[in-house]
Structure 1
């Protein structure tokens, strides 16, 4: 007799808890994104040393920069290595052999495989200009096949980082559903993630949700504030937008039949300038709560006890980033190595 959907969801949750327990608190550790869209940034060796000095041993790189990879690898930092969107067409069309050539020359020539945890194929490919979308899943499959041929498929996982706008519905969290227009790409991707044990990666910014809609997104709710009124969703209660967004994604995964796929938050953070709510005090409050929750392995209301792997954005301010002024002020550290606000990663 076929299992019912509630029974399947319960089984998926039990399996996720078991995986998290088997791995200790490994998945709940905090990483930091290392962007380099700016001038006067410290040398990669100094950036890597700064992370280690602060107890951070994971980083997300947005591209396989041949100057950054060896510096971070030599410092013993485990990496999410971004595969640039513009490389996806070649990787999709060149087969596993072409993907292997790219891997060897772009990544493994500069960092040992032991330091690479994930390849993030593309960033927000399904947001805005979607010209690379048809190449995304074929590129992921070829990269995985190349890793398998090298005997690395068990240690290096392939995924892709998505904007949270990949959800067409997110309120209440149990109503979470993917954008129908993205499903022709997402459904084969979800099958791939489930088959290979890779997480669904998402970039989510409660600050931006608040800045775009302050009338409906209370600041306390975006900031993990103690005064935030709980949002009831059936038997569950949400006191912050971060949990609500992750669980909306979990609900969307469950609706597609992939409730066992873990979620990794590959970008989140709070800026320190460029908006009335972008202050060092608010950034400290938000990021400290993210770090503390990861350390405690609290999970989310829909997946209690299942740690969410999180990468805070960003190590430094990036003055070359386009867009609103706040986009250039997410730095946790200043260029001289001092902290932009008080935060402890230990």
Structure 2
């Protein structure tokens, strides 16, 4: 009974420390559309819906201007194609910083600068760590310890991911990921991970339970030793925890930088109802302030992918991950759940 009372007290303290307005649930603001509303209107949508975190894949002056004095936490990405020059010289690093960060330091809340997106493994993978190091040198020189340098990776860095306890980085990823994790560990920064139970379910709907993929199951679906999983998202997160632990970095936390479910583009697997169910459950999962079976005391931040349906993305499901249509009508409700 005493243990239960202590657990309840800790949970209440955590909730008291983070009000609805500060729950770390964000949205990816992709801009690959020729019919999207102006950035100022989009930022107002974030504020109106109580969305307190934004991820941008690349910097945009209009968005940065609109974010001034909004207290929306910003994860700002560096384009993949910019990394080779930034790894070779501090000059493009300084230019990028002076253009997209320095003018906004007083009134934009920078949380993370993300060096590239899903580059490991790949031809640009070896540039990620040098660019992170170059930017960290710059941040240290200006005493900007409130901004964390990191990068975003997908499950493609894992050679084995199921069951979670057997997860390891692939042969192609291990060396690069070990270097990146060493940097993150030294700086106390998290790794950003893009996780999509949808794609796992769509690849094998006969053998994967829909409620497990949609975070709806109430029973243990996957038993991995002493750890039981009722939803695939937790299993994916723990797969990363196991993999990072096996290369010596159990102290590196993670942020779910992308997760979502498309509302169209793949027949009966992509209905508005299914997308609504997943994203509503994802927001509830992040807002619950709970950890995973492997790390039950680690709060996980998360970002829904994405704000809008984007018509310049590849045809099919990629155009239908949005919470909103370009005319700003909701595809389905998600963020009112927090209020």
Normalised to the residue count of structure 2, the TM-score between the two structures is 0.89
Displaced runs of 4+ in structure 1, greater than 4 A? Answer: 20-28, 110-114
Shift of 1:75: 3.0
Q: Quick one: structure 1 residues 334 and 22, their matched pair in 2 at CA, closer, same or farther if it must change by over 3 Å?
A: closer
Q: Does the residue aligned with 2:312 lie in a helix, a strand or coil?
A: coil
Cα separation, 2, equivalents of 1:104 and 1:120: 16
After superposition, the Cα gap between the structure-2 partners of 1:70 and 1:316, relative to the gap in structure 1 and judged at 3 Å, is same
Task: Label 1:320 to 1:61 Cα distance change in 2 as closer, same or farther (>3 A).
Answer: same
Residue 235 of structure 2 corresponds to residue 244 of structure 1: yes
Residue 149 of structure 1, aligned match among 112, 117, 141:
141
Find 2:309's aligned residue among 303, 317, 322: 317
Aligned residues: 323
Question: Residue 290 of structure 2 corresponds to which residue in structure 1?
Answer: 298
CA distance in 2, matches of 1:38, 1:282: 24
Match of 1:109 in 2: 103
Per the alignment, residue 158 of structure 1 pairs with 149
Match of 1:135, SS state, is: helix
Q: Are the counterparts in 1 of residues 165 and 242 from structure 2 also a CA contact under 8 Å?
A: yes
- In the other structure, the counterpart of 1:121 is 115
| Alignment deviations for residues 234-293 of structure 1 (CA, whole Å, 9 cap, x no partner) | 111111110100000000111111111101010001111112221121111111111112
Q: Tell me the equivalent position of 1:169.
A: 160
Which digits, 9 at most, give the CA deviation of each residue in 1:15-40, with x for residues without a partner?
Answer: xx9xx969944996100000000121
Report the Cα distance in structure 2 between the residues aligned to 1:21 and 1:185, rounded to whole angstroms.
Answer: 35
Output the CA distance in 2 between the equivalents of 1:111 and 1:93. 26
RMSD over aligned Cα, in angstroms? 2.2
Inter-CA distance 259–92: structure 2 relative to 1 (3 Å threshold): same
How much does 1:336 deviate? 3.0
Q: Report the alpha carbon displacement of residue 223 of structure 1 after superposing the two structures with TM.
A: 0.6
Aligned with residue 89 of structure 2, among 94, 116, 129 = 94
User: 1:72 aligns to what?
Assistant: 67
The answer to whether 1:138 aligns with 2:130 is yes
How far apart in 2 are the matches of 1:234 and 1:43? Answer: 50
Matched, 1:200 2:200: no
1:131, distance to aligned residue in structure 2 (A): 2.1
More moved, 55-64 vs 210-219 = 210-219
Q: Provide the residue aligned with 1:339 in structure 2.
A: 330
Alignment of 1:178 onto 2:178: no
Tell me the SS of whatever aligns to 2:228.
Answer: strand
SS at match of 2:172: helix
Which residue is 1:6 aligned to?
none
Instruction: Please tell me whether the aligned partners of residues 64 and 107 of structure 1 are also in contact (alpha carbons under 8 angstroms).
Output: no
Q: Which structure 1 residue ranges, 5 or more long, are not aligned?
A: 1-16
For the pair 1:33 / 2:28, whether they are aligned, the reply is yes
Aligned partner of 1:215 in structure 2 is 206
Equivalent residues of 2:27, 2:51 under 8 A apart: yes
Give a deviation string over 1:73-113, Cα, whole Å, max 9, x none.
34331100000011111111113x54233211233335647
Classify 1:166/1:24 alpha carbon distance in 2 versus 1 (closer, same or farther; 3 Å): farther
With normalisation by structure 1, the TM-score equals: 0.88
